[in-house]
Every structure is written in structure tokens, then in C-alpha cells.
Amino acid sequence: MSESARITVCPQGPLLVRGDFEVLDADGNRLDTGGSVALCRCGGSAVKPLCDGTHKRTRFDRPRRSRGGDSS
């Protein structure tokens, strides 16, 4: 049985995706993620859609919580 995908917002960083998912590039090619991936949320990565750590240098900062929804 596969694990459903879970997306976790990292404070001041990327979106961490774990579980059963696929990431396709703009041409529809599947990226090899190995079951987990960090997706850039700051817009500064040189390897989008993946995080390359640039958010640390640029001191990316966003609220930790969304304005709505369930946090469970």
C-alpha cells in the first residue's frame, strides 16, 4: 500500500513533499524524487521547481500558518 502524499510548509523555506506523488517538468518528464522532495517556495532557486538552499541566503520569510484550513 502506498503512502498518500503529504506537503509540509517549512518556515522560511521550501515545501517538503513526501509519499506517493510525481513531479513533472514543463515538458511532462518525470523527475526522479525518490519519494521526497523540497519544492522552492521563495522563487530564488536556480534549479526550480526544486529548492537549492537559496532561501537561506536571501532570508526568505513568510508566515508559518495559512489564513484558513485545518492544521491537523
Applying CB under 6 A, the residues found at the interface with ligand FES are 13-14, 40-42, 44-45, 51-55
Q: How far is the CB of 17 from ligand FES (least distance, A)?
A: 13
Q: How far is the CB of 15 from ligand FES (least distance, A)?
A: 8
Q: Which is nearer to ligand FES, 37 or 41 (CB)?
A: 41
- Provide DSSP, 11-41: TTS-EEEESB---B-TTSPBP--TTEEEE-S
Burial of 63 (0-12, 13-18, 19+ CB in 10 A): exposed
23 touches 33 (CB < 8 A) = yes
Q: Which is nearer to ligand FES, 28 or 34 (CB)?
A: 34
Q: How far is the CB of 2 from ligand FES (least distance, A)?
A: 26
